[in-house]
Amino acid sequence: MDVSATTRQPVVAPLNSNADKPRNGFFKTAIVWQNVIGFLLLHIAAVYGAYLYIYEASWATKLFGFVCYWLSAKGTTMGAHRHYSHRTYKATLPLRLIIMFLSTLAGQNSLWVWVRDHRVHHKYSDTDADPHNSTRGLFFSHIGWLLLRKHPDVAEKGRKLDMSDLNADPLVMFQKRYYYQLYIACNSLLMLVPVFAWKETLWNSFMVTWLLRTTLLYHATWSINSFAHWGGTKPYDEKIRAAEEKWTALFSGGEGWHNYHHTFPMDYKASEYGMPFNSTKGVIDLFAKLGWAYDLKEVSGDAVFSRVERTGDGTRKFVWWG
């Protein structure tokens, strides 16, 4: 493979535009009771799964559950988010197959749906057209948006969004068409590993490696929509709600440097920082060395410094972990 293909491409970020963004306002909508009941049951199961994790599951199962959490998180962060939503790097077929498998494990809907919602979120951030509009409250932006009918603006803007790149991707469309079958198959396969490899009970494996893992990963992802739009510093653009929140970055694999990401959404790092608060960057770098990820886009230091001077809140401190 051509080594030059892995060269990181510096890009300059434009200022965020608020043009054509719908205004916020009071909105009352119907509760989606099947989602309320489904998430309630999932969380009850997760509490029991946590008990089994602590008191009954073997150490091998505990470690395997953590590894499964970490891997399935990468399906969302390096796959659905940084590759498909923002096209911050290109991926070979083997890497895209890995992404499809891991994102399916995560259980956060098909790649196509995830990307559509995320692109709408960026284009109309924190307005009525944002699926998890943070101006509607912390609970709504965390999980409430999944328990209520969509605001009409969300549906309208989602329909108008250009999804031609994903529509032309056979792998993405295959996963979209067979998402639920693939979700059950992939997670069932994962669940059986502890059962056959070290004789864990099927029940413990199901509760720990599937339901508990899924619930924890949901909250790690949701925390970016909620806490990273609620509090924190804004060193790159003080005029937007997205903020730097290191603890959400730690648990999500580097997604919590949200003020940077919303200011420079085309940067594959989604942050100025590397490890330990941005493990997704490290994984993408690893695949770049293998030649499976290439054309990594990175905002130039000059562009970052210029933007900090123009729109930052003065809290930026340069820290680099690698």
Residue with tokens 């692109």: 119
Q: Sort 76 into a burial class: Cβ within 10 Å, 0-12 / 13-18 / 19+.
A: buried
Is the alpha carbon torsion for 98, 184, 144, 213 positive or negative? negative
The residue extents of the domains of the chain are 33-232
| pLDDT digit string (tens) for the chain, length 322 residues | 333 334 444 443 443 444 445 455 556 789 999 999 999 999 999 999 999 999 999 999 999 999 999 999 999 999 999 999 999 999 999 999 999 999 999 999 999 999 999 999 999 999 999 999 999 999 999 999 999 999 999 999 999 999 999 999 999 999 999 999 999 999 999 999 999 999 999 999 999 999 999 999 999 999 999 999 998 999 999 999 999 998 999 899 999 999 999 999 999 999 987 767 899 999 999 999 999 999 999 999 899 999 999 999 998 875 444 4
Q: What pTM does this model have?
A: 0.90
Question: H-helix or E-strand containing 9?
Answer: strand 9-11
